[in-house]
Amino acid sequence: MIGKVTDAVVKVYFTATAFLMYYFLNETAYIGGIGVTYRHLFALLIVASAFVYFLIRPDIARGAVSVKGALVYSVPLLVMLVASMLIWVVDKSSTATILRGISGCLFYTNWLSCALAAGALLYVCGEDGIWYNLAALVAANLLMLVGIMREDGIGAFFGEFFTLVTTFAGTTGDVIVKAEIHELAFCLGAYLIYMLYKPRKKAWFWVLFSLAAFCFLAAFKRIALVAMAAVFVVRLGFFLVSKVSKRAMCRFANGVMLVAVLLLIAYVGAIKADVFTLLEKAGVDTSGRAYVYAHVNEYYRFSPTFIGNGIGFLTYQLNEVVSLGVSAVHNDFLQFFVDLGFFGYILWLLSMAVLRTGYFGRDGDGDTAAVTTLLLLYLFIVSATDNTVNYPLLTTVLAILIMGNGYTKRVEQQSRRWGVYDENSDGE
């Protein structure tokens, strides 16, 4: 009885900490003059708390699976650093350039910290950590929406919400626009994809699904909806392939990821060919991206001979050199192509897509390969016109969904390899 109460208290603590991470997503604390966002501090608190929990209740197999999963998920960070170091050596870059680049790499370390936070939640809660994390995310978003309703009125909120949904965001109001909690919306989109792929016949599941869908629709990110529609098409492909075998699903997943890599290479080539300018001429509103991309053209060539400029280069140019009125290019793939070069960009894409799918879908685990593929496709699509790849909270959500799916099975396999598997254990 005491053990169950203790477990419940621990899970409440970690859920509450995750809630604070999602709720204080924009606030910043200053430590020694250096600004650190609350969301990073709470992510690190989750990791530190899980380490303490490990010291009290050590489970080597669970710890190994959690840490290995987080490290594999964060390999793109290593690719960025190694590719940049090679560029700096070849270009004989100045010390100032290298230091700026290293600082740029530090900007992306949230991939590791957030992946470790996801692994920490899984270590403490098992696969149920997926749902505790969702509960924290939904609760944080709902509390924000309640604040909007209290300030502007429930009637005004739901009136504009109905108009927003029925016009496909063609008409918005001053009230509902406050509900576009940018990063949380992308997080909820990822969860909805996962839940539609793996529905459960539980009342709590459909309560969470309904609340998540409501919060997602209130934000109404059209690019996220487009991404979900594309993911659904690929989901049908997995359904058909699953009739053959699970290994066929793994092969299909790898094939989809390779196609995605090729398309993302071609996407940069299309940008270089001024496709966004053509869209503007055709009457498509690119929200100023055509103007920005036209000015970025001078910093790269779409050619195998283009070695790149090193990580952080484009950000520095936009913030310190040119005056375009933007601090980011709002396109992760163009950003990394300019920084990492032709082959560095390809290696980065392979580490983002094929490596992750291959690792988490290994041993013929077609279900996990499918989940990983669908979630990464979602990330790629929403990142095509934004800098979504580096959103810390989205990184946490994607990591816990990808690492958490099949987590118990991987822990069991690890325990058997080490000869410490408990037949009476449920893996949780």
* Cα 197 to Cα 202: distance, rounded to the nearest angstrom: 15
Query: With 0-12 CB in 10 A as exposed, 13-18 as middle and 19+ as buried, what is 140?
Result: buried
Q: Are 344 and 308 in contact (CB under 8 A)?
A: yes
Tell how strand 28-31 and strand 34-37 pair up: antiparallel
* Cα 427 to Cα 399: distance, rounded to the nearest angstrom: 20
Could you read off the pLDDT tens digit of each residue along the chain, which spans 428 residues?
556 778 889 999 999 999 999 999 888 877 766 677 888 899 999 999 999 999 999 999 999 999 999 999 999 999 999 999 999 999 888 888 888 888 877 778 888 899 999 999 999 999 999 999 999 999 999 999 999 999 999 999 999 999 888 887 767 788 898 898 889 999 999 999 999 999 999 999 999 999 999 999 999 888 899 999 999 999 999 999 988 888 888 889 999 999 999 999 999 999 999 898 888 888 877 777 888 888 888 899 999 999 999 998 888 888 776 666 666 788 889 999 999 999 999 999 999 999 999 888 776 678 889 999 999 999 999 998 888 888 999 999 999 999 999 899 889 888 888 776 555 444 44
Domain residue spans of the chain: 62-417
| Helix H or strand E segment including 251 | helix 246-272
Q: Is the dihedral of CA 129, 186, 403, 373 positive or negative?
A: positive
Please, how many CA atoms are within 13 Å of residue 232, restricted to the half-sphere of its CB? 10
For residue 174, give both structure tokens.
């001053």
DSSP, res 426: -
